[in-house]
């Protein structure tokens, strides 16, 4: 059994013990090793949906707008858990909205970016890349839509495919793909896959959390380039449910314990 196979086995055992719905894709991008578990299960995407939104913004930049262009923050987009609403300015550059969306998961910035590119363009891009379980159907903090059954959805398989597309520079091209990965390396959330790594390698990732989900998807740029897409759902005790956060923390540590 290889190191990564053992890592996946331990994660599956922990998820079963804690009654978690775990979906995982682990790929060693330099060694052509690809492991999966429950990878096509459809989860509420939480903030991982911000990756395809970011890609749509980068795709249209320099064509329909410049990242330096400013947008006024619309009142209906100024929802909770948002850096730009805390700062309190009336407008920001598209680039600043984009960065806050990815590094602090700013919900108001995300809603601005959805207005900028539109649901249809994001979902069309998702389909062109070949994702099967991913769809953008609502803005951030839109509780009413969730109650009516309209949620943003994804799978571990889809997120892994999206990450590999960025890594290989396929859909956006090399330059814009690197731009996206560089932004994702600045993600400030260390509570999930990075939770138990005291000195982690650079990690281009995006987390997502709701009361019943904890997700972390990204690429470790260490000596080995590990792509990991890990989604966890349960009937939880809030966004910081320790069963989910600690499971992802252990998964991140298990990957690097031998390296």
Residue 240's pLDDT is: 86
Q: Does the pLDDT at position 195 exceed 50?
A: yes
Percent of the chain with pLDDT over 70: 99
- Span between the terminal Cα atoms of the chain, in Å: 16
Query: What's the number of domains the chain is made of?
Result: 1
pLDDT value at residue 258:
60
Question: Would you say residue 255 has pLDDT above 70?
Answer: yes
Q: Which residues are CB-contacts of 170 (< 8 A; sequence separation ≥ 6)? A: 177
pTM for this structure?
0.97
Task: Report pLDDT for 81.
Answer: 80
Q: What is the mean pLDDT of the chain?
A: 96
CATH number at residue 33: 3.40.710.10
Helix (H, G, I), strand (E, B) or coil at 204: strand
**Domain assignment of residue 103, given as a range:** 3-256
Evaluate whether 233 touches 43 at the Cβ level (below 8 Å): yes
Contact 234, 244 (CB under 8 A): yes
Model confidence band, residue 225 (pLDDT cutoffs 50, 70, 90) = very high
Tell me, rounded to whole angstroms, the distance of Cα 99 from its chain centroid.
Answer: 14
Phi, psi at 218, each rounded to 5°: 180, -170
Give yes or no for residue 259 having a pLDDT over 70.
Answer: no
Strands 203-210 and 153-154 come out as unpaired
């Amino acid at each position: 059994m290889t190191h990564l196979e053992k890592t996946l086995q331990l994660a599956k055992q922990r998820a079963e013990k804690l009654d978690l719905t775990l979906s995982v894709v682990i790929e060693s991008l330099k060694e052509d090793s690809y492991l999966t578990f429950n990878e096509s299960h459809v989860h509420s995407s939480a903030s991982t949906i911000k990756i395809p939104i970011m890609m749509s913004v980068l795709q249209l930049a320099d064509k329909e707008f410049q990242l330096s262009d400013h947008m006024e923050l619309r009142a209906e987009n100024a929802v909770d858990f948002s850096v730009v609403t805390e700062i309190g300015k009336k407008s920001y550059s598209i680039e600043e909205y984009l960065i806050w969306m990815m590094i602090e998961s700013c919900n108001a910035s995300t809603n601005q970016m959805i207005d900028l590119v539109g649901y249809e363009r994001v979902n069309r891009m998702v389909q062109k890349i070949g994702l099967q379980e991913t769809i953008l159907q609502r803005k951030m903090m839109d509780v009413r839509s969730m109650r009516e059954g309209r949620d943003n959805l994804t799978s571990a398989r889809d997120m892994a495919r999206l990450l590999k597309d960025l890594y290989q520079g396929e859909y956006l091209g090399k330059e814009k793909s690197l731009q996206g990965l560089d932004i994702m390396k600045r993600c400030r959330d260390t509570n999930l896959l990075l939770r138990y790594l005291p000195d982690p390698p650079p990690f281009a990732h995006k987390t997502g959390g709701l009361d019943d989900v904890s997700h972390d998807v990204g690429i470790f740029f260490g000596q080995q380039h590990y792509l990991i897409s890990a989604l966890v759902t349960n009937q939880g005790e809030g966004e910081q449910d320790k069963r989910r956060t600690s499971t992802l923390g252990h998964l991140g540590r298990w990957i690097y314990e031998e390296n």
